[in-house]
Amino acid sequence: MGNDRTDGFVFCDSKMKYLSIYLSFFLGSYLWPFSVSADTPAKRPTTLIGLYPTGKSAPENPISPRLVFDYLSDPITRLGNEKVRFFVNSVQLKDWKLSWGLMDEQGNRVPMEKLEEMLSRNRPFRLYGSALYDGSLFKKPLEAWKNKSPSSAPPEGVFLSRTQQENLRPELLPMPAVGVSVKPTLPGTSFFTRWFRSPPRRFSAGDSNRPTNVVMILVDTLRADHTPPYGHPFVVAPHIDLLASLGWVFTRSYGASSSTRPSVGSIFTGLQPAAHGAVRHATQAAWLHLGVPLLAQAFQKAGFSTAGISSNAQITGQFGFDGGFQAYECPVWEKAVTPRAIRQLQTLSEPFFLYLHYNAPHAPYEPPPEWRGLYDHLTPSPEEDRYCAEITTDDRRIGLVLKELAKQGLLDRTLIWLVSDHGEEFWEHGWNGHGAKVFEETVRTVSIVADPLHLPMGVRCDQPVTHVDIFPTLTEWFGWKKPRYVQGISWLPILQGRETTEAAHRPLFLHHGGGLGPGAHESDKEAVLLDNQKLIWWTQKNEWELYDLHLDPGEKQNQWRPGLEIQPLESLLKKHLEECRIIGMEYTLPNEAGKSVELRPAEIENLKAGGYLQGK
Ligand SMILES: [Zn+2]
């Protein structure tokens, strides 16, 4: 199955596993099976200690300007008589060298070996950390510039500005630990926020009744292979890397489509676009069927507080995406998503489900001024350079959300799911963009699940997974009843390390719905991917494409010829579409007939800015 567990934790044996699953259902929705197992607590972290940046960056020396950032935790105390353990090497960031140490009350650095001695004095202490950027960002621009224009001066932006250097800093270093407790400070929480917030529920480290909150962060148009955990050589994204280090990276994650509305619809419903109804992204005539059960509704029904914030107007309430959210803000400005998310984290009562949707790095690629020029001349095109800079921008926003989770003491009881809705093409098939084809560059997505107190850390899983799996996975995770129709599978067996033939060799389906009107469009496509074979059907033209991803990963050689035997892929695809049709009919309510979505001015402006509507 390709799981490559690097944390070295030992799982409970299978008998304990089943016992723990049983207990978890018995105890209700707050517990994850593994948290009940009897033989693992000593080997698993029970808390995450946040270390926050302190002071400014310091270039190590002016000739080789490697950046060094310092970090410090809040005061730490021993928890009862438990043996204290820090998981020092479990967090690793690509291009960064991390080091850790102890600090006494007077601010003196103390070697890690002195831990027991310090604990015996029963005084609070702190952890300090340091992060040294050792990546290629300083070296490559010069090489790229030399190759491109040896006679001219270095283009502006080749060297990082002071602000850019400062902004590269990881916002948080978490240290997994056992047997300690840390008192989070709450700077920035105003008196009024505290006064009006729901009664805080605070749980100590190791408390098995801690709730599990869920924060789902969707980064629009984030192409998986442009992030460090998926192998990009130089894009700096320490917080995405941090989540990968704390959790599971699904290396073969597929979107349901290559456009926002159909894909997010599949995340929210566990259904393929042809079943949930939001089949097109550029029309006002495609929405989630009014009868479809939604993910946020499942959370709400289970007693979670629910909130959603999105800067992409494709997923407004108008199109049916706000169901189950007690608070849903869409569209908001891109730069408003993080401050609003932080406000929600300060006020939401637990347990909660928070959905964040960042529209960048969606076109037009316009990184904020402080990030412009970060990767100039490093990729084959200026568009891709700016796209990469937007990824680093988003990464910092994600970092601020993670930091707030830590500061609120929520990091160790929150499952974080980072996902993208689709990728982006940079002329691999003659075009720049997404939402028209179903080739790998636009349908491969990021999917990283982090909950280090309940799941092993640093796992890379190469099982093929898809958007429609997210709903059933969360449903089984919390022990809820599944909706009547779900077209994905739960990843629970995968997360438990059980190999399943069903998961490894199942067909995945991909969709594209084009056009501005309500009906079919000549560019409409449906595709099936089974193992390495991808069959694409142009449904209106009745044309076919067939690719072998193993022999032809760039999908350049269409193997389809008239008379070519394409069963059983063709019958899998047609059976699937018939299933979608039946589910879609089931969930279509009578009051949908003649429905037309009326866009509000803010939505029109947002959609125009994203290139969805004519006029830009
Ligand atoms: Zn999108």
Task: Write down the domain spans for the chain.
Answer: 21-185, 213-471+581-609
**Cα of 401 from ligand 1 centre, angstroms:** 21
pLDDT digits (tens, 9 = 90+) for 169-185: 999 999 999 988 887 65
Q: Supply the pLDDT for residue 280.
A: 86
Distance 360 CA to ligand 1 centre (A): 9
| Contact present, 167 and 57 (Cβ < 8 Å) | no
Residue 109 CB coordination number (10 Å): 9
CB 253 within 8 A of CB 503: no
Rounded distance from Cα 259 to ligand 1 centre (Å)? 5
| Average pLDDT for 572-583 | 96
pLDDT at position 186 over 70: no
Residue 482 CB: number of other CB atoms within 10 A? 14
Record the tokens describing residue 496, joined without a space.
């438990």
In three-state form (DSSP H/G/I as H, E/B as E, the rest C), the secondary structure along 152-221 is CCCCCCCCCCHHHHHHCCCCCEEEEEECEEECCCCCCCCHHHHHHCCCCCCCCCCCCCCCCEEEEEEECC
**From 69-78, 269-278, 557-566, 595-604, the region with the lowest mean pLDDT:** 595-604
Q: What is the C-alpha to C-alpha distance for residues 188 and 416, in angstroms, rounded to an integer?
A: 23
**Residue 564 CA, ligand 1 centroid: distance in Å:** 35
**pLDDT of 603-615, one tens digit each?**
888 877 777 765 4
CA of residue 421 to ligand 1 center, whole Å: 5
Q: Taking 90 as the threshold, does the pLDDT of residue 530 lie above it?
A: yes
Q: What is the pLDDT of residue 194?
A: 43
Distance 525 CA to ligand 1 centre (A): 18
Which of 190-199, 310-319, 483-492 has the least mean pLDDT?
A: 190-199
pLDDT band at 198 (very low <50, low <70, confident <90, very high): very low
- What's the 418 CA to ligand 1 centre distance in angstroms? 14
Q: How remote is the CA of residue 422 from the centroid of ligand 1, in Å?
A: 6
The pLDDT, as a whole number, for residue 594 is 67
On the question of pLDDT at 2 being above 70, the answer is no
Distance (Å, whole) CA 477 – CA 30: 10
Specify the range with the lowest mean pLDDT, choosing from 69-83, 143-157, 451-465: 143-157
Cross-strand pairs, 51: 73, 173
Averaged pLDDT of the chain: 83
Strand partners, 512: 525
3-state secondary structure of 394: helix
Return the structure tokens found at 225: 């292979």
> From the CA of 610, how far away is ligand 1's center (Å)?
9
Distance (angstroms) between ligand 1 centre and the Cα of 217 equals 13
CA of 126 to the centre of ligand 1 (A): 42
248's tokens: 């599971």
Measure 221 CA to ligand 1 centroid, in angstroms: 5
Lowest-confidence region among 17-21, 48-52, 217-221, 538-542: 17-21
| Residue 202 banded pLDDT, cuts 50, 70, 90 | low
pLDDT tens per residue across span 322-363: 999 999 999 999 999 999 999 999 999 999 999 999 999 999
Question: Which of 354, 359, 295 has the alpha carbon at shortest distance from 331?
Answer: 359
Q: Please give the distance, rounded to the nearest whole angstrom, from the Cα atom of residue 13 to the centre of ligand 1.
A: 42
pLDDT at 140: 55
Distance 249 CA to ligand 1 centre (A): 20
- Taking residues 18-47, what's their average pLDDT? 38
**Could you give phi then psi for residue 332, rounded to 5 degrees?**
-120, 165
Please tell me which residue, 419 or 1, carries the higher pLDDT value.
419
**How many angstroms does the Cα of residue 260 sit away from the middle of ligand 1?**
3
More confident residue, 157 or 162: 162
What is the Å distance from ligand 1's center to 427 Cα?
Answer: 18
CA of residue 391 to ligand 1 center, whole Å = 14
Q: How far is the CA of 347 from the centre of ligand 1 (A)?
A: 29
Which pLDDT score is estimated for 138? Answer: 64
Measure 289 CA to ligand 1 centroid, in angstroms.
Answer: 20
576: Cβ–Cβ under 8 A, 6 or more apart, which residues?
Answer: 272, 507, 509, 528
DSSP strand E in 455-501: where? 459-466
**pLDDT (mean) for 408-434:** 94
What gap in Å lies between CA 240 and CA 448, rounded to an integer?
Answer: 9
Instruction: Report how far ligand 1's centroid is from the alpha carbon of 550 (Å).
Output: 27
Question: Is residue 420 scored above 90 in pLDDT?
Answer: yes
Range with the poorest average pLDDT among 53-57, 219-223, 368-372, 457-461: 53-57
| Res. 155: pLDDT tops 50 | no
Give yes or no for residue 601 having a pLDDT over 50.
yes
Measured in Å, residue 312 CA sits from the centre of ligand 1 at: 8
Mean pLDDT of 386-390: 96
Of 1-10, 242-251, 380-389, least confident by mean pLDDT is 1-10
Between the CA of 574 and the centroid of ligand 1 the distance, in Å, is 26
Q: Which CATH architecture has domain 213-471+581-609?
A: 3-Layer(aba) Sandwich (3.40)
CB 319, CB 597: distance < 8 Å? yes
Average pLDDT over residues 308-335: 94
Is-cis flag, bond preceding 59, omega within 30?
no
What's the 468 CA to ligand 1 centre distance in angstroms? 16
Distance 394 CA to ligand 1 centre (A): 14
CA distance 232 to 457: 21
Q: Using the mean position of ligand 1's atoms as its centre, give its distance from the Cα of residue 342 in Å.
A: 23
Average pLDDT over residues 116-143: 79
**From ligand 1's centre to the CA of 573, what distance in Å?**
24
Tokens matching residue 356: 């964040």
What integer pLDDT is reported at residue 1 of this predicted model? 35
pTM: 0.87
Whether 10 has a pLDDT exceeding 80, the answer reads: no
Distance (Å) from CA 332 to ligand 1 centroid: 15
CA of 442 to the centre of ligand 1 (A): 10
Q: What is the pLDDT of residues 250-282, one digit of tens each?
A: 999 999 999 999 999 999 999 999 999 998 887
